[in-house]
Amino acid sequence: MSVAPKKKRVSSPERFLNRELGLLAFNSRVLEEAENPRNPLLERLRFLCIVSSNLDEFFEIRVGGLKEQVTGGGPSTEPDAMPPRQVLREVSERAHALVARQYQLLNAELLPRMAHEGIRFLRRTEWTRAQQAWIRDYFFREVMPVLTPIGLDPAHPFPRVLNKSLNFAVELEGKDAFGRRSGTAIVQAPRVLPRVVPLPAGIAGCAHGFVFLSAILHAHMGELFDGMQVLGSYQFRVTRNSDLFVDEEEVKDLRSALQGELPQRHFGNAVRLEVADNCSEPMVRFLLQQFGLDEADLYRVPGPVNLVRLMQVPSWVDRPDLVFPAFTPGVPTQLSRRGDIFEAIRRGDILLHHPYQSFQPVVNYIQQAAADPQVVAIKQTVYRTGNESVLMDTLIAAARSGKEVTVVVELLARFDEEANIGWASRLEQAGAHVVYGVVAHKTHAKMALVVRREDGQLRRYAHVSTGNYHVRTAGLYTDVGLFTCDEKICSDVNETFKQLTGLGRAGRLHHLWQAPFTLHAGILAAINAEAREARAGRPARIIAKMNSLLEPRTIEALYRASQAGVRIDLVVRGVCALRPQVPGLSDNIRVRSILGRFLEHSRVFHFHAAGAEKVYLSSADWMGRNFFRRVEICVPVLDAKLRKRIVAEVLRPCLRDNTQAWEMDADGGYRRRPRGRARAYSAQQWLLGELAQAAPSPD
């Protein structure tokens, strides 16, 4: 008698992919955009820099955390159950390969192509006499006065090296003025110095000539050590664990505690050492020893140790033919015809699809509220908004004018803590009510509520969004925002603000799913409802777009829905722990990632719902932190026309894309979606044509 093979549980570790390796796979896809010759040359340089910026954060947070796990000796806490030491080993192998690809691309292709276009980074061996004279003058005038070379001896120990700063290890021979023979010195390049220096047009010898600060320092290092011989000078950079630790349950003043912790971010435990590939072996060993690192943590690079600093070069070069074509974001007709945004919202809900449509209506919404004498209160959340923000300036002005302004500022928004502390202080000084959310829960919800007196009664207006209130990133990230004066949605938003600012039990909401209370349960219920429909032989469908998919119970629910026959399409830009296309487990699940000119950032979920076609906009990815450790909202789109528009604009174009779409396999690998004989179709390019306006012609 034959025995049927035992079916594996969907929760077994082999059914999940590793988060860290998924993040590196995402950065590999970004690097392919830099390698893609169809992209404009300077945009390829930008993609290259984005990879370096992403890797910096990856090492600062994810690798830093892995090293702490290895030191602590505990088992893996991730659903894939891969031991931390094994993850570190695989991360090192893949990260080294990724970095090698970066510098190969830079040196073999991008720099030569840029030189052909008159954009040159001049090496020391190429400097003309005129260039040498100008660079020498620049060194003595701008560089040398701010340098502090440190010779290493018993009275001068190895200095504290700032996280991600540019430094030089110098090998010396001879005696100094005091008769010392140290042999080794460290020169730290202050952050006030630009890492890329433009040459004057008259001596550049090309349309755009640049010199690296590292080249200037190498050429003049001897000037810092009079009477001694420089045997070698090697640039290096150390990356440190930058995750902040603030025990929110113990501190009495979160802002003060965070201000005390922020400076330590620059001096956390070292996790990566980058050195120039010409660095001598004794110096490499010395640096590794100083930072407590192993060979696996060492990255020898044939070029600048910080490629992120090249990000500013495209903005210095006036070559429209080498960047993506400019465009003017469109404005919905409901807003373009009326000056009063509140009147427009009363006529019906309004959807904004950024960056194809302008973020200016969101700015206008807050500005009109601040200036309108009928508005009595404004409430807004702030997660990321930048060091300069017209929205924050407007809220400050509204508070000074006597309006009730309440701002929930998330102080622990990673790498934006300092900016948010500054805004919190300025808002408080202006008389606004500033709160920092809930202990142990980041406030990640994106919402702005305006209370206005109309005909003797108070009416509420709400803006909810998948993205931050950040004017600059609104032009770079794809996000969806919704204006509404629906009383029940506005009541839900107000209730969420009340939870954030006051005390008491969570009230029952009419429409919103809210983390950490109902969002996870709502998502699971919607997935399970589709599974029931499929088992009953009725149509069932899920399309979900997000940045990351990691939460195990959600993945298990998707597996069960797939087994029931639900057709599931997931558009996951970054890391996805779900394995698609596994026979008997996820046959009906397709996962794709869209990478292009804009960063795909919107979170949009669509469920067939027995023909009701429910669509939700959310601030949350499907991750444990978003479901259980953050305050998030998920808002249903009530207007039937807007629901259809979101499916037609946000979701289906991603499924149709055959130029910027990557398809994921069961092992976590990605390949570009094959086009075959089909016409090229880019979701982002199509949306630019549909929603944006052509760039205005120059006068």
* Residue 328 CB neighbour total at 10 angstroms: 11
Q: Do 297 and 92 contact (CB within 8 A), yes or no?
A: yes
Q: Do 683 and 592 contact (CB within 8 A), yes or no?
A: no
Q: Do 297 and 274 contact (CB within 8 A), yes or no?
A: no
Please state the length of the chain. Answer: 699
CA dihedral 548, 688, 325, 475 (to 10 degrees): -50
First to last CA, the chain: 85
Closest to 167 (Cα-Cα) out of 187, 184, 146, 137: 187
Q: Do 295 and 288 contact (CB within 8 A), yes or no?
A: yes
Cα distance between residue 496 and residue 498, in whole Å: 5
The position carrying tokens 């469109």 is 330
Alpha helices in 565-657, H assignment, sequence order:
624-628, 640-646, 652-656
Cα distance between residue 596 and residue 619, in whole Å: 21
Q: What tokens does 83 get? A: 């031991």
Mode of pairing for the β-strands spanning 477-484 and 599-600: parallel
Cα distance between residue 319 and residue 325, in whole Å: 11
> H or E segment at 342?
helix 341-346
* Residue 125 CB neighbour total at 10 angstroms: 6
* Residue 374 CB neighbour total at 10 angstroms: 12
DSSP 696: P
Q: Is 454 exposed, middle or buried (0-12, 13-18, 19+ CB in 10 A)?
A: exposed
Q: Specify whether 470 is catalytic.
A: no
Q: What tokens does 39 get? A: 């992209």
DSSP string, 552-582: HHHHHHHHHHHHHT-EEEEEESS-B-B--S-
DSSP 62: I
Contacts of 274 (CB under 8 A, 6+ apart): 236, 237, 238, 239, 299, 301, 305, 306
Of 444, 520, 606, 608, which one is the catalytic site residue? 444
Q: What backbone phi and psi angles, to 5 degrees, belong to 558?
A: -65, -40
Cα distance between residue 605 and residue 614, in whole Å: 8
Q: Is 194 exposed, middle or buried (0-12, 13-18, 19+ CB in 10 A)?
A: middle
Closest to 403 (Cα-Cα) out of 367, 382, 381, 432: 432
Alpha helices in 188-297, H assignment, sequence order:
201-204, 213-220, 254-261, 281-291
Query: Positive or negative, the Cα torsion across 591, 81, 77, 552?
Result: positive
Catalytic residue ranges:
444
